[in-house]
C-alpha cells in the first residue's frame, strides 16, 4: 500500500485528500500545525491519519517524509525549499501547486541525480492554465502551424448571484496575497514590442472582457508574461499576455487604495491612536481631516462618487479602535476586508479561465481559437477554487505515485506526458474547457 503525506490542511487540501482516501491502495497522512484542520480532513477514515507538524521542527518533518512514498506540499511557497531539501535527503518525490522559485530550481540537478521528481505548478494558476495552453500550442504545432499570439485571463470571483458587495470580491482566506499582487509591475508583448506597466499604473490598464453567458469583467495585466515565450516554446509569437479577471470597479478602487498608501506593510506604533487619525496620517492629512472630502479633492473626483462609496462601505472613513498595539496600513485593510468580504454560508465562488490562441498554417490559413473554463463552487461543499487547485494536484500526485512519469528533476506540467492524463482526469471530474475556433 502506498503512503501519501500531505503537508498543509488549508482550503485546497480537501478535494485532494478525499480523492486519495477513496483509493483502497493508498494511506494518507495529513500534517498541519493546527491539528483540528488535519483531523477535519481525515475524520475517522481507517486509511487516514492526522498529525501535528511545525515546519520549523525539521527532525519531525524529516521523520514524516521518511515514511512516505510521495509528499504533497500545500503550504506557502516559502516553505517548499525546506520540504524539498528533506525530500532530497530521503529520496522522496514531491508535488506542489506553487510557482518554481529559484530555490526550487536550484535543486534540479540534485533531484535528477537522486532519481526523484519535484513536480510543481499543478494547481489552477499556475497549473491548469499551463496545461490547457500547452495542449493548444502542441495541437497547433502538430498541424505545422506557428503561434502568432497567446492571451490568457484567469480569475477567482464570487459567482454572479454572490456578487453582493461594492468591491465585487470575496475571500475564502487571507486577502494579503491578493492585495500585494497589485504592487507588481507587468510586462507583455504587443505587436512584437515589449510593454512595461509600472506597478503604480497597473490598475490604470484594465480593459473590459466579454465572455459569453456571463456579465462583463474587467481584466488587467498579470506580472511578467514575457517569460512564457520560453516556457511555452513560442519565440515566434508577436503577442503574449496573461491577465487577471475581476468584476467591474475593482481596478479603480485598488488603484486609489494604493495611492492612499493602504498597501504599505511597514509596521508602526498604534499606541494612543484610533482608526481615523491613523488613516489620515497614512494619506498625509491632518488627524481631524474629512477624509472623504479631502481625498475627493486630491483625486479630482466627485465627493459622491461610487469609488468613495466603496471605501466608505469598508469603513475607511470611520473612526474606531485599531486592531492591536502596532501594525501597518496593510494590516488594517486586511482586517476590515476580512470583517466584511467573506463568503456567506451557501454562497458560490466561480473560477473563469480563458485562453486565446492565434495561429498561422503552411497552407496560408489562419485561425483564432478561444478555450474557456467556467466552474462554480458547490453550495455548502467545495469551493471552485479548492477544486481547481486541489483536483489537478491530486491527478498529478496520482501520476507520480503510479510511476507514470519517466523523467526526474524539477518539473512543470508543460509536456504531454504530464498535462495529458491530468486534463483527462479533470474532464472526468467536470472541469471541461469549451473551445471555439474561427478562421481568420
Alpha-carbon distance of 229 to 273, in angstroms, equals 50
Count Cβ atoms below 10 Å from residue 209 Cβ, excluding itself: 19
- What average pLDDT does this structure show over 155-175? 93
Q: What pTM does this model have?
A: 0.93
Closest CA to 317 of 262, 265, 368: 262
Would you say 437 and 372 are in contact if contact means Cβ atoms under 8 Å apart?
Answer: no
Q: What is the pLDDT of residue 240?
A: 99
For residue 331 the three cell numbers come to 494590516
Task: Please state which CATH class domain 253-340 belongs to.
Answer: mainly alpha
Plot region of 324 (φ>0 → left; ψ -120 to 50 → alpha; else → beta):
left
pLDDT in tens, 236-249: 999 999 999 999 99
Q: Which helix (H) or strand (E) holds 370?
A: strand 366-376
Burial state string for 364-379 with b = 16 or more CB within 10 A and e = fewer than 16: eeebebbbbbbbbbee
Sign, Cα dihedral of 286, 316, 250, 122: positive
Closest CA to 334 of 177, 213, 208, 203: 177
Q: What is the pLDDT of residue 440?
A: 84
Q: What is the pLDDT of residue 181?
A: 85
* pLDDT above 90: percentage of residues in the chain: 96
Q: What is the pLDDT of residue 229?
A: 97
Alpha-carbon distance of 148 to 134, in angstroms, equals 14
Is 90 exceeded by the pLDDT of residue 405?
A: yes
- Widest Cα–Cα separation across the chain: 74
For residue 85 the three cell numbers come to 531539501
Is 80 exceeded by the pLDDT of residue 46?
A: yes
Q: Using CB atoms within 10 A of its CB, is residue 305 exposed (0-12), middle (13-18) or buried (19+)? A: middle
At 376, is the secondary structure helix, strand, or coil? strand
CATH 3.30.360.10 domain range(s) in the chain: 128-249+344-382+432-439
Alpha-carbon distance of 138 to 413, in angstroms, equals 13
Terminus-to-terminus CA distance in the chain, angstroms?
54
pLDDT in tens, 51-72: 999 999 999 999 999 999 999 9
Q: Give domain 2-119's CATH architecture.
A: 3-Layer(aba) Sandwich (3.40)
Q: Which residue has the cell 492565434?
A: 358
Alpha-carbon distance of 240 to 217, in angstroms, equals 20
As beta bridge partners, residue 372 has: 354, 434
Alpha-carbon distance of 387 to 350, in angstroms, equals 11
Q: Give domain 128-249+344-382+432-439's CATH architecture.
A: 2-Layer Sandwich (3.30)
Is 90 exceeded by the pLDDT of residue 177?
A: no
Q: Which residue has the cell 493546527?
A: 34
Closest CA to 97 of 110, 83, 116, 109: 83
Q: Hey, which residues are catalytic here?
A: 125
- What average pLDDT does this structure show over 391-417? 98
- What average pLDDT does this structure show over 135-151? 98
- What average pLDDT does this structure show over 156-178? 93
Alpha-carbon distance of 396 to 127, in angstroms, equals 10
- What average pLDDT does this structure show over 138-144? 98
For residue 360 the three cell numbers come to 498561422
pLDDT in tens, 149-159: 999 999 999 99
pLDDT in tens, 82-129: 999 999 999 999 999 999 999 999 999 999 999 999 999 999 999 999
For residue 323 the three cell numbers come to 486592531
CATH 3.40.50.720 domain range(s) in the chain: 2-119
Alpha-carbon distance of 59 to 47, in angstroms, equals 24
Q: What is the pLDDT of residue 172?
A: 79
Q: What is the pLDDT of residue 188?
A: 98
Would you say 234 and 240 are in contact if contact means Cβ atoms under 8 Å apart?
Answer: yes
Would you say 154 and 125 are in contact if contact means Cβ atoms under 8 Å apart?
Answer: yes
Chain centroid offset of residue 429 CA: 20
Amino acid at each position: 500500500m502506498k503512503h501519501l503525506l500531505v503537508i498543509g490542511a488549508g482550503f485546497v487540501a480537501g478535494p485532494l485528500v478525499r480523492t486519495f482516501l477513496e483509493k483502497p491502495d493508498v494511506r494518507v497522512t495529513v500534517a498541519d500545525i493546527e491539528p483540528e484542520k488535519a483531523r477535519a480532513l481525515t475524520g475517522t477514515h481507517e486509511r487516514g491519519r492526522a498529525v501535528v507538524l511545525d515546519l520549523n521542527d525539521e527532525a519531525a518533518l524529516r521523520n514524516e517524509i521518511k515514511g512516505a512514498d510521495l509528499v504533497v506540499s500545500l503550504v506557502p511557497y516559502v516553505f517548499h525549499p525546506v520540504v524539498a531539501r528533506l525530500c532530497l535527503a530521503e529520496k522522496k518525490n514531491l508535488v506542489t501547486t506553487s510557482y518554481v522559485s529559484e530555490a526550487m530550481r536550484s535543486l534540479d540537478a540534485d533531484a535528477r541525480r537522486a532519481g526523484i521528481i519535484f513536480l510543481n505548478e499543478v494547481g489552477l494558476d499556475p497549473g491548469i492554465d499551463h496545461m490547457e495552453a500547452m495542449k493548444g500550442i502542441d495541437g497547433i504545432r502538430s498541424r505545422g502551424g506557428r503561434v502568432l499570439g497567446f492571451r490568457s485571463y484567469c480569475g477567482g470571483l464570487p459567482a454572479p448571484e454572490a456578487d453582493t458587495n461594492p468591491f465585487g470580491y470575496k475571500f475564502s482566506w487571507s486577502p494579503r496575497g491578493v492585495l500585494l499582487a497589485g504592487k507588481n509591475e507587468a510586462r507583455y508583448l504587443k505587436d512584437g514590442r515589449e510593454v512595461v506597466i509600472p506597478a503604480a499604473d497597473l490598475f490604470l490598464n484594465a480593459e473590459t472582457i466579454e465572455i459569453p453567458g456571463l456579465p462583463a469583467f474587467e481584466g488587467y495585466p498579470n506580472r511578467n508574461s514575457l517569460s512564457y515565450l520560453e516556457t511555452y516554446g513560442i519565440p515566434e509569437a508577436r503577442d503574449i499576455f496573461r491577465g487577471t479577471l475581476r468584476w467591474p470597479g475593482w481596478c479603480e478602487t485598488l488603484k486609489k487604495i494604493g495611492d492612499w498608501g493602504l498597501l504599505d506593510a511597514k509596521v508602526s506604533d498604534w499606541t494612543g491612536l484610533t482608526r481615523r487619525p491613523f488613516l489620515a496620517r497614512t494619506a498625509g492629512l491632518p488627524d481631524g481631516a474629512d477624509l472623504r472630502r479631502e481625498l475627493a479633492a486630491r483625486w479630482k473626483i466627485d465627493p459622491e462618487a461610487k469609488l468613495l462609496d466603496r471605501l466608505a462601505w469598508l469603513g475607511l472613513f470611520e473612526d474606531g479602535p485599531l486592531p492591536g498595539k502596532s501594525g501597518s496600513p496593510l494590516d488594517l485593510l486586511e482586517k476590515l476586508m476580512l470583517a466584511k468580504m467573506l463568503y456567506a454560508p451557501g454562497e458560490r465562488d466561480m473560477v473563469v479561465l480563458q485562453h486565446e490562441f492565434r495561429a498561422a498554417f503552411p497552407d496560408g490559413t489562419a485561425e483564432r481559437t478561444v478555450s474557456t473554463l467556467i466552474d462554480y463552487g458547490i453550495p455548502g461543499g467545495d469551493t471552485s477554487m479548492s477544486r481547481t487547485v486541489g483536483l489537478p494536484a491530486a491527478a498529478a500526485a496520482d501520476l507520480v505515485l503510479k510511476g507514470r512519469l519517466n523523467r526526474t528533476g524539477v518539473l512543470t506540467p508543460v509536456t504531454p506526458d504530464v498535462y495529458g492524463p491530468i486534463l483527462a482526469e479533470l474532464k472526468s471530474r467536470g472541469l471541461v474547457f469549451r473551445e471555439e475556433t474561427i478562421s481568420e
